Structure 1
Amino acid sequence: MASKLRNDAEKTFEDQIAELKKELASVTKKLSEQGSALYDDARDSASDTYETLRKRGRVAAREVRHQAQAVSETARENPLATAAVVAGIGLVLALLARR
């Protein structure tokens, strides 16, 4: 009788362990799927951000070139004013450097 009770208890424990292993495998699979989805979302977001920054950088570089050309043309058209502005900037920087 005690042997039968022990065998029944062992069988019950083995069944419970098998069920827990199945549940653990299911949870592990779901976590893996969720992690993969989060990774994909993060990768897509980073890619979108990179593309946005790349486009903005291209626009900014184009604008900087345009402004540099405008400054260059203005300097050629007004050499005395340009020299005065450059001297003024140099003076301000020298005064700031002395502090």
Structure 2
Amino acid sequence: MASSTDKTAVEVRDALEAQITEMRKEIASLTKSLSKKGSNLAATAEDTASEFYDVVRERGAQAADKVSQQARIVKETARENPIATLAVVAGISLLVGLIARK
């Protein structure tokens, strides 16, 4: 005949096993939920990076166009005013030399 202590121990063990089973289900559900959120975050980060790349590429192309335009203007100005160009280059060279000496 089983004593009341044995019955209580069995009941406690069964209750613990039921709680462990429930906790495993909750952990599996949380893991699945976190996995989905991680996937969503990764997709969002990828979209943001792609958009940033597109903006940088577009602005880089615009900057390259501006630099090219300015280079043409400088080239034309140098051709039209060779003596002034030499004076400016000499002045810049003198300033760079003075700064480099310090």
Tell me the TM-score normalised to structure 1 length.
Answer: 0.94
The structure 1 residue matched to 2:15, chosen from 12, 15, 19, is 12
- Output one character per residue of 1:51-95: Cα deviation in whole Å (capped at 9) or x when no partner: 000000000001101110110011001100000100010111111
The structure 1 residue matched to 2:51, chosen from 39, 48, 62, is 48
Matches of 2:87 and 2:12 in 1, distance apart? 99
The structure 1 residue matched to 2:36, chosen from 22, 33, 47, is 33
- Output one character per residue of 1:10-34: Cα deviation in whole Å (capped at 9) or x when no partner: 1111110000000011111111111
* Structure 1: 5+ residue stretches without partners: none
Matches of 1:91 and 1:51 in 2, distance apart? 42
Tell me the equivalent position of 2:63. Answer: 60
Post-superposition offset of 1:4:
2.4
Task: Read off the aligned partner of 2:62 and give its amino acid letter.
Answer: V
Task: Read off the aligned partner of 1:97 and give its amino acid letter.
Answer: A
1:21 aligns with 2:24: yes
Moved over 6 A (4+): none
* Structure 2: 5+ residue stretches without partners: none
CA RMSD of aligned residues (A): 1.0
Q: How many pairs were matched up?
A: 99
Task: Read off the aligned partner of 1:87 and give its amino acid letter.
Answer: A
Identical positions, percent: 49
